A and B are shown apart, each in its own frame.
Chain A
Amino acid sequence: AQSVTQLDSQVPVFEEAPVELRCNYSSSVSVYLFWYVQYPNQGLQLLLKYLSGSTLVKGINGFEAEFNKSQTSFHLRKPSVHISDTAEYFCAVIGKTSYDKVIFGPGTSLSVIP
Chain B
Amino acid sequence: DGGITQSPKYLFRKEGQNVTLSCEQNLNHDAMYWYRQDPGQGLRLIYYSQIVNDFQKGDIAEGYSVSREKKESFPLTVTSAQKNPTAFYLCASSTRVSAETQYFGPGTRLLVL
Residues in A lying within 8 Å of B, measured CB to CB: 9, 32, 34, 36, 41-46, 49, 51, 90, 94, 96-102, 104-107
Contacts and interface: CB of A to CB of B under 8 A. Distances in A.
Which size class do B's interface residues fall under? Answer: 20 to 34
A10 B87 CA distance: 20
Interface of B: 4, 6, 35, 40-43, 45, 48, 58, 90, 92, 97-99, 101-102, 104-107, 109
A41 B99 contact: no
Nearest to B4: A43
B36 to A, nearest CB: 11
- Mostly, the A contact residues are loop
A44 to B, nearest CB: 4
Given A44-B90, A94-B98, A101 B107 contact: no
